[in-house]
Amino acid sequence: MQKLQNKVAVVTGGGSGIGLGIAKAFAAAGARVIITGRNKATLDKAVQEIGHDAVGLPGDVSDLSQLTGIYQTIDRNYGRIDVLVANAGVYIIGPLATFTEEMFDKVSDINFKGTFFTVQKALPVLNEGASVILVSSTVNGKGIPNHAAYAATKAATRSLARSFSAELLNNRIRVNTLTPGPIDTPLFTTITNNAEEAKAMAESMGNFTPVKRLGTPEEIAAAALYLASDDSAFMLGAEILLDGGLRDL
């Protein structure tokens, strides 16, 4: 039997990159997959890539009314959530001296507030024994210039997994953190001016790791599948670090 056979799995930010890789792995493992994201066209394209009758629900995790609407739709159509991946996030970096309030609010609202309420608003629909996976970043434990606000939101995400796990023990809901390093996703094209700059940044980030390459969404998805399945039943409040040795070497 496939590891997620007949499980209902929700992946926020599932339209591209890591989220899409996780959604594909879950669908291939037998889950009924629902992805969310802010761009409907991107979601529609991702649903076609995922196959297996995946569903896309547009919504912004920083807007609590939209989150509530998403979960109401899921409750109506599926009745439960067995696996929840809080993956939606933004990568906003800049020097401390010039970082604006608008930049700070956006990265905080999506990465920290969005993650917190992605779990809170799901509680009425989360099945007993569900697995919740919070996607952080290796910078949650490393000081890197220009990353102060972003890293703080990802450190907060890591902290939430511990607190949520302690609070949800009676429901046998496990909350763990998946912590990637630099991964080969379309992210680089969104924070640079052209394809040449995106390629140069990706190469630079890959060379920054001890293994001298970027990770792949498939590698992160394999770890997410472990956390989602009963293979990780003895694991809660913990962290899987997949960063090519960046933090520790």
Over 80: is that where the pLDDT of 238 sits? yes
Average pLDDT over residues 220-244: 97
- Domain count within the chain: 2
158 in the same domain as 210:
no
CATH number at residue 141: 3.40.50.720
150 in catalytic set: yes
To the nearest whole percent, how much of the chain has pLDDT over 70?
100
Of the residues 78, 91, 150, 226, only one is catalytic, namely: 150
Q: Is 248 part of any domain?
A: no
Q: Is 18 part of any domain?
A: yes
Over 90: is that where the pLDDT of 187 sits? no
> What are the helix (H) ranges across the chain?
17-28, 40-50, 64-77, 101-108, 114-120, 148-167, 187-190, 195-208, 217-228
pLDDT of residue 1: 66
Domain that holds residue 191: 185-214
Q: Is 112 part of any domain?
A: yes
Average pLDDT over residues 51-66: 98
78 in the same domain as 196:
no
pLDDT of residue 85: 98
CA distance 201 to 3: 36
Reading the block at residue 100, the tokens are 């604006």
Query: What angle, rounded to 10 degrees, do the helices at 17-28 and 40-50 form?
Result: 30
